[in-house]
Amino acid sequence: MSRFFVFLVFSSWLGTSMATIAQESITTTTWGSVNDQEIKKFTLRNNANQEVDVVTYGAVITAIRTPDREGNIADVVLGFDNIEGYLSSENPYFGATIGRVANRIGKATFVVDGQRYNVSKNSGENSLHGGTHGWSSKVWNATIQDDCVVMTLVSPDDDEGYPGSVTAIVSFQLTNDGELRIEMKAHSEKATPINLTNHSYFNLAGHATNASELYKHMITINADCWTVTDSESIPTGEIQSVVNTIMDLRNLKKFGDVIDKVPGGGYDNNFCLPKSYNDGKVNFVAKVVHPSSGRSLKVYSNQPGVQLYTTNSVPENGIVGKNGAKYFKHAAFCLETQNYPDAINHENFPNSVLQPGDTYNHVVLYKFGVKN
């Protein structure tokens, strides 16, 4: 009887330890500095030859290395070799944690608790990705806790015009079955709009391959509808069915067959996911496969929306990234789980206001594997 009990305890302990990585497989190095503040890089490793690098500047994921079906490792996210790259004006938010509010706030203004706030305009008359000096350009504090890298940020009252001091916590964990689990939490001292996202640019053939490989990827998104936008990419409030349109990705589609048919030269659209949970439970969001390498990515989240962006606007000469690679139009795709864009200005969109005493809790799982 007691032996049986010991066996049960042991096997459940084993189950846990096998599902997650050990603390000693997270390593830390110094990665330059910004305004005399040291930037740290953490490398999470699992027992399946997969690695993820995250840095404290912007809580940015700088690399994800994962094998193909023959075991060849490729780095599948776009990025820069060093901090100078991330600081440059060319950086299109590669790998960053975006806050306080991902995507656009129309006219850079909103009302919370009867008071109007104007936030910083950095995209014409609108506010994009938290403003001019949003969370993606701040140096986060970081520690290793158990098998997670935990980054924290205090965003003071009036930061970029937003109300209330907000404390944000983002944790990164890599499991032995290829799941990069990112959990973003926040508390605020005043009611404030908040909706964070993760902004990685993926190319499962490898970051240095280009549009010709991206077009071979197959994608499916678990969405029956999407939010219509105006010419400045601001939602009109209309939620439209995907049926019989280029937004219908409910069955696997090849990027090369659909991307050029999207008005505007590629996807930059928010898809509405079936349901969201505040308790951290996750739903299937999307799956992408690169057939010749076999590398696959499955995305799960507790959020109501996902922005699909196919790197449509890149300077004509490209962006020089890691190892001298040049990134051009359609070099990669982003799947940014989020609330609907501009939710603060649309009553029919999910709530986007965090009240004092409540917790914002956003979970996203990126599961990397191979398909035979």
Collapsing DSSP states into helix, strand and coil, what is residue 159?
helix
Shorter beta-carbon distance to ligand NAG: residue 61 or 249: 61
Closest separation in Å from C-beta 26 to ligand NAG = 15
Q: Which two tokens stand for residue 357?
A: 């005493």
Q: Which two tokens stand for residue 341?
A: 């864009």
Tell whether 81 is in a known binding site. no
Of 27, 186, 28, the C-alpha closest to 98 is 186
Shorter beta-carbon distance to ligand NAG: residue 169 or 228: 169
Q: 238-275 burial, b for 16+ CB within 10 Å, e for fewer?
A: ebeebeeebbbbeeebebeebbeebeeebbbbbbbbee
Closest separation in Å from C-beta 189 to ligand NAG = 14
Shorter beta-carbon distance to ligand NAG: residue 12 or 348: 348
Q: Which two tokens stand for residue 205?
A: 């053939």
Closest separation in Å from C-beta 343 to ligand NAG = 7
DSSP secondary structure string, 21-40? --GGGEEEEEEEEETTEEEE
CA distance 43 to 4: 39
Shorter beta-carbon distance to ligand NAG: residue 38 or 84: 38
Closest separation in Å from C-beta 345 to ligand NAG = 14
Shorter beta-carbon distance to ligand NAG: residue 54 or 218: 54
Is residue 94 within 8 A of residue 137, CB to CB? The reply is no
Shorter beta-carbon distance to ligand NAG: residue 47 or 118: 118
CA distance 162 to 354: 12
CA dist list (Å): 211 to 19, 208, 219, 259, 311: 35, 10, 15, 11, 10
Q: 178-192 burial, b for 16+ CB within 10 Å, e for fewer?
A: bbbbbbbbbbbebbb
Which amino acid is present at 115?
Q
Q: 147-166 burial, b for 16+ CB within 10 Å, e for fewer?
A: bbbbbebebeeebbbbbbbb
Tell whether 268 is in a known binding site. yes
Q: Which helix (H) or strand (E) holds 268?
A: strand 268-272
Shorter beta-carbon distance to ligand NAG: residue 151 or 249: 151
Kindly list the catalytic residues. 199, 336
CA distance 250 to 69: 26
Tell whether 100 is in a known binding site. no
Closest separation in Å from C-beta 346 to ligand NAG = 12
Tell whether 207 is in a known binding site. no
Closest separation in Å from C-beta 95 to ligand NAG = 3
Tell whether 201 is in a known binding site. yes
Phi-psi region for residue 130, left (φ > 0), alpha (ψ -120 to 50) or beta?
left
Closest separation in Å from C-beta 213 to ligand NAG = 7
Tell whether 199 is in a known binding site. yes
CA distance 104 to 127: 5
Q: Residue numbers of the site for ligand NAG (CB under 6 A)?
A: 59-61, 77, 95-97, 109, 116, 118, 138-141, 152-154, 170, 180, 182, 184, 194-195, 198, 200, 210-212, 276, 303-304, 328, 339, 350-354, 360, 366
Annotated binding-site residues read: 103-104, 199-201, 268
Annotated binding site for beta-D-galactose: 103-104, 199-201, 268
